[in-house]
Structure 1
Amino acid sequence: MSSPAAQRLGVVPSVFAVEHLPHATFPEDDEWIALVRAPEGLTVVRETWPSGSGERWIGLYGEANAHGLDVPGMLAAIVGPLAEAGISVFVASTFHADLVLVPEPRITEAVAVLENAGHRVDTGHLRPAGA
């Protein structure tokens, strides 16, 4: 079985929070990036401020239109190596690419894992630790 083509990913310049709103069907504000409604409630991905509390996530986003929706294995090629390295992910997929969130303290490790798996990662928006 051949492995999926290597992908070009960029580090998103925002820091994200992932929230679960068990009784909501829509957030009360419009400050969200992604929404997923399920029987258990609403999952909301939103930008958070650098001083925000709670678990913080850094996003990796693939090149828009790099592949069609009918190309199998593209997301697996990203999350597979991260899973093998024990790095948690939260994914929000779009029509054009996947937003793969990794815990902020593990972003440097995640980039190294992805590069070792053959992906190219633009870290231009990656802030130094503690910044």
Structure 2
Amino acid sequence: MSADRQHLHLVPNRFTVGHLPHATFPEDDEWIALVRAPEGLTVVREASPYGDAQRWVGFYGDPGDGLDVPGVLAAITGPLAGAGVPVFVASTYHADLVLVPEHSQKSAADALRAAGHRVDDA
């Protein structure tokens, strides 16, 4: 895999990112990703179609060489930052789930394509 030209898929689900300031683990098991930090717990969940929370869409790369390829995340977040698109990242061993606000989906996909990445819609 080349860091500068990746194949990204738009995940069909929508997500929410929440913060539980005094929790060490969520009370349910309906989460996608958890990050525990001194200031509390960050929880990524599938979004409800009826909720009022900010919804995020996810771009996910083809599983490649895991942790052995430098610059993979930077090659994605750099063009998004240049386009003014905020991100939240949940990393796995094989690839990164790069979340962007749902209203920024088109500008994010356009920025990634302009940077040379292949982006498949859901």
Category of TM-score, reference length = shorter chain: over 0.9
CA distance in 1, matches of 2:101, 2:49: 14
Structure 2 equivalent of residue 63 of structure 1: 62
Question: In the TM superposition, what is the alpha-carbon distance from 1:51 to its structure 2 partner?
Answer: 2.1
CA distance in 2, matches of 1:13, 1:48: 11
CA distance in 1, matches of 2:46, 2:116: 29
Return the TM-score normalized by structure 1: 0.89
Structure 2 segments unaligned to the other structure (5+ residues) = none
CA distance in 2, matches of 1:114, 1:5: 10
Structure 1 segments unaligned to the other structure (5+ residues) = 126-131
Are residues 1:72 and 2:70 paired? yes
Structure 1 equivalent of residue 95 of structure 2: 97
CA distance in 1, matches of 2:24, 2:48: 24
Structure 1 equivalent of residue 10 of structure 2: 11
CA distance in 2, matches of 1:110, 1:39: 31
CA distance in 1, matches of 2:5, 2:50: 35
Q: How many positions carry a matched residue from both structures?
A: 121
CA distance in 1, matches of 2:98, 2:49: 19
What SS does the aligned partner of 1:82 have?
Answer: helix
CA distance in 1, matches of 2:114, 2:50: 32
Instruction: State the one-letter code of the partner of 1:72.
Output: P
Select 2:109's aligned residue among 108, 111, 129.
Answer: 111
Identity %: 67
Runs (4+) of structure 1 moved beyond 3 Å?
A: none
Instruction: State the one-letter code of the partner of 1:83.
Output: A
CA distance in 1, matches of 2:80, 2:61: 15
- Cα 1:90–1:113 change in 2 (3 A) is same
